[in-house]
Amino acid sequence: MTVKKVEIKVDINCGKCNSAIMEAATDIEGVNHVSLDEGKSVLTVVGTMDPVCIASRLKKIKQKPVIISVGPPSKPPEPPKPPVPEKPKPPAAPEPPKHVCKPPYCNSCDVVSVTTYESGSGCTIL
């Protein structure tokens, strides 16, 4: 027989119900793992047992079981893969040398030209 995971909706009204449900499920032949989610009222049983057998056993303890799902058990999480080594980055292009203006002229810098008129009326900045 194959291992399967069975989820069954149960009625959990008190701690006594919780204990009775767990005991009923663990006494079945072929059960490997039993867990009970009290918040969702879901019993999860993993093993080679017959899901109908679980439901029958729960009916004997005055439960009204509803089988939610039957399927393969969850796969264990895969181990993390080793990190892929990064390819070396090509060397960065060297930065161009910083420009230093040399008098008297420079074509790459902003040039301010001041022109005065002979009449003394002011100046123009270009």
pLDDT value of residue 42: 92
Average pLDDT for residues 71-93, to the nearest whole number?
72
Q: Is the Cβ–Cβ distance between 32 and 4 less than 8 Å?
A: no
Q: Specify if 67 maps to a domain.
A: yes
Read off φ and ψ for residue 63, nearest 5 degrees. -90, 160
Q: Specify if 40 maps to a domain.
A: yes
Q: What share of the chain is helix, strand, coil (3-state, %, to 5)?
A: 15, 25, 60
pLDDT beyond 70 at 104: no
**Positive or negative: CA dihedral 116, 121, 125, 126:** negative
**Positive or negative: CA dihedral 11, 17, 23, 24:** negative
Read off φ and ψ for residue 59, nearest 5 degrees. -65, -35
**What CATH code is carried by the domain that includes residue 12?**
3.30.70.100
Q: Specify if 22 maps to a domain.
A: yes
- Which structural domain, as residue segments, surrounds residue 57? 4-71
**How many independent structural domains does the chain possess?**
1
Q: Specify if 90 maps to a domain.
A: no
pLDDT value of residue 126: 47
pLDDT beyond 60 at 49: yes
pLDDT value of residue 82: 75
Q: Specify if 124 maps to a domain.
A: no
Q: Specify if 48 maps to a domain.
A: yes
